[in-house]
Structure 1
Amino acid sequence: MTSAEIVQTAEEARSLSMPPLLILDEVEKYLDQQGLGSGELTVDRIGDGRSNITYRIRRSGVDLVLRRGPRPPLPKSTHDMVREARVQQALRGQGFPVPEIRAVCAEEGLLGVPFYLMDYIGGEVITDSVPSQFDDAETRRGLTAELVQVLQKLHTVDVSQPEIGALGKPEGYLKRQVERFAKLWPINTQREIPLVAELAETLHKNLPATQQHAVIHGDYRLGNVMYEGAVPAGGQPRIAAVLDWEMATLGDPLSDLGYLTATYSQVGEGNVLAASPITAEPGFHTRDELVEEYAADSSLDLNMLPWYQTLALWKSAIFCEAMYTRWLRGERPGDSFAESLEQGVPRLLEGALGYARKIPGA
């Protein structure tokens, strides 16, 4: 028996040692049922695929993106494609830049996991290189200025609207995050790293008061936004869509700012996550400048930002440990990033410790 990522039929899928990610006949039938285009499919995988997986699917009349979770078994409460789609539907109704959701399949029978389909949006996702139309000092700076400004726009979405309020319970968000991830560590790991518990205690003892409730993305960074392909005359680049809403909920907006800044690549530093290494090149905002950009149009007190930065890297380490453990178990074959997390997770935790030492009063 062999393994494959994409197969044509369910019969082929049953012959494999590992379930495929796409069964083309099943996807084609589903599109027909939803009235989405006609004819044969053209399929291309897009994105880095470290967690959830996306494919561009074209046929006559439609150009779509299919988004699904990784192969089962899936950790509880993660990779919820139905919820992720609903978050975007709610935000689009409030005028926030997200793709239009065209169909949501909650059933697992077709591909082994739920999935959803959204319109494909042409544009630029910037990670390790800068497209030529953005490649001058002023425009590079405009890319990261827009990144912060759209984050502020997200944090001003009206949470009193019923479709937004249904996304979660914001009260006690930070306390729940610390407690939940502390419990996840022993589930996610096969090794002892005492710093995880030490940081959990620091976070718990220094829990800040939430100043505002907002929609939070949970993984907001340069690699999770798509810019329009052209820069407006006399203006800065514009974000066409914010992507990857798996972690979105209602909570403390400074958790987004903490994550954005703690995981941000800048000159002279390594970055375990390596999500958007391009910002370590000249012309982009520094980490401190991102904070200044946010503070300029915010009434929030940012004095406790190191706490949120600590939380961001501590949570990232626990997430990444789950990937590493799945690699150890043979569930992520050929995944060099997951393999690198043997040393990467301890490095994330050391980074979290560096921020923890800056928490006022800690």
Structure 2
Amino acid sequence: MSDEYFARIVDEESLADYFEREVGPVAEYEMHHHQEGHSNETLFVEWGDRDLVVRRPPPGEVADTAHDVLREYRVMDALQDTDVRVPPTVLACEDHSVLGCDFYVMERVAGDVLRESEPERFAASEHRQRIGEELVDGLCEIHAVEYEDVGLGEFGHPEGFTARQVERWSEQLTWAFDVTTEEREVPELYDVMEWLTENVPDAPAHTLVQGDYKLDNVMYGPGTPPEIVAVFDWELSTLGNPLVDLGWMLSYWWDAGDPEPPQATDSLNATFMTGEGYPTRQDLVARYEERTGIEYENDRFYRALAVYKLAGLGEMFFRRYLEGNADDPLYPKMESGVPELADRAVRIIEGEEPL
């Protein structure tokens, strides 16, 4: 990452002054950019003997409903005393004189995020099985939250949520296309848009929805057996259809015999869970249904919607790259990555990539 981009996302002196006022003075501190994510920006701050994390939106113009970090803070703060495994929250800041944007602070949690491979301590078959079970159980805990009781009763508008998902992500795509179509077009996405619009299913009972629940948005603790200690990236959370969450999670879980993932989005498509001992997508669904009592119907819709949303994210990334508002090497790859995702969504719709 360039020093110039780092300076765009954090004024170190201003943030240090804020921390001194709100957290307390320290003799020494360090700040650095954590570049694993591809949406909101994450800063690690060693503030004396405390390890903290700052989350802020990316610089530049963003789509209207994207990158709402204070929404992310609000839901994590509300979930502190529930079974949902969220990092301890510290502060939220709406004062744009500090970083030029909203941001929040949370405690840093120790463990591993499984992105490209499993840690050696998880290589045994029983641990591999448990990785998948924990992933499902973490989602079940979210969907079991009595959201009224924790102050999230007004957190969303669950009626019509699934149809609005299609509409909202179509709007995000359209926003990105305003710039990206000058480079290339992705006509297949209009076909997917039409199919999703015409095939919105009836939803089960509404729950809290995480919005971005997948393997690399959870952290497994440092010991064995595998145990999730934190769920991250709540910026898209709301109240709505829990099967949208499940379809999203499943779209990132690869089975042996699946088609090759889109090449341009390799960094988003870990495939180590195709190894011996890992549960299949059908295993994950069976555990979810058993634990929640919710039947997973209309799989083609939910997984196609997931890939469509990922294409929407990718196209927004590509627009930000073209406008010079990103320093992420993934973003320029979306020129070919989004068309690959569009092809995958079509395959799911046509039954060529079954559950």
**Same fold judged by TM-score > 0.5?**
yes
**How do residues 223-234 of structure 1 correspond to structure 2 at under 5 angstroms?**
223-231=216-224
SS of the residue corresponding to residue 79 of structure 2 reads helix
Which of 298, 313, 316 is residue 319 of structure 1 equivalent to? 313
SS of the residue corresponding to residue 241 of structure 1 reads strand
Letter of the aligned partner of 1:206 in structure 2? N
Question: After the TM superposition, which of the residue ranges 251-260 and 204-213 deviates more from structure 2?
Answer: 204-213
Aligned match of 1:346: 339
User: 1:51·1:70 contact (CA, 8 Å) conserved in 2?
Assistant: yes
Aligned match of 1:295: 289
Distance 2:128 2:166 in 1: 35
Distance 1:149 1:302 in 2: 15
TM-score, normalised by the number of residues in structure 2: 0.90
Letter of the aligned partner of 1:267 in structure 2? A
User: 1:91·1:164 contact (CA, 8 Å) conserved in 2?
Assistant: no
SS of the residue corresponding to residue 92 of structure 1 reads coil
Deviation at 1:56, TM superposition (A): 1.8
**How do residues 18-97 of structure 1 correspond to structure 2 at under 5 angstroms?**
19-36=7-24, 38-97=26-85
Which of 170, 190, 197 is residue 182 of structure 1 equivalent to? 170
Q: Quick one: structure 1 residues 85 and 259, their matched pair in 2 at CA, closer, same or farther if it must change by over 3 Å?
A: same
Which of 237, 245, 251 is residue 248 of structure 1 equivalent to? 237
Deviation at 1:142, TM superposition (A): 0.7
Aligned match of 1:261: 250
Distance 2:85 2:269 in 1: 20
Distance 1:186 1:54 in 2: 27
Where structure 1 has 5 or more consecutive residues not aligned to the other structure, the ranges are: 7-18
Distance 1:329 1:65 in 2: 27
Q: Quick one: structure 1 residues 133 and 50, their matched pair in 2 at CA, closer, same or farther if it must change by over 3 Å?
A: same
**How do residues 145-294 of structure 1 correspond to structure 2 at under 5 angstroms?**
145-161=133-149, 163-189=151-177, 190-191=180-181, 192-231=185-224, 236-268=225-257, 269-272=259-262, 273=265, 274-275=267-268, 277=270, 278-294=272-288
Distance 1:63 1:336 in 2: 27
Q: Quick one: structure 1 residues 42 and 311, their matched pair in 2 at CA, closer, same or farther if it must change by over 3 Å?
A: same
1:330 aligns with 2:324: yes
Distance 1:3 1:120 in 2: 24
Q: Quick one: structure 1 residues 162 and 140, their matched pair in 2 at CA, closer, same or farther if it must change by over 3 Å?
A: closer
Letter of the aligned partner of 2:113 in structure 1? V
Deviation at 1:63, TM superposition (A): 1.7
Distance 1:124 1:139 in 2: 14
Paired-residue identity, %: 30
Letter of the aligned partner of 2:301 in structure 1? W
User: 2:63·2:175 contact (CA, 8 Å) conserved in 1?
Assistant: no
Distance 1:109 1:73 in 2: 18
Q: Quick one: structure 1 residues 56 and 329, their matched pair in 2 at CA, closer, same or farther if it must change by over 3 Å?
A: closer
Deviation at 1:86, TM superposition (A): 0.3
Aligned match of 2:4: 4
Residue deviations 1:318-358, cap 9 Å, x none? 1111111222233334x331111111111111111122224
Aligned length in residues: 341
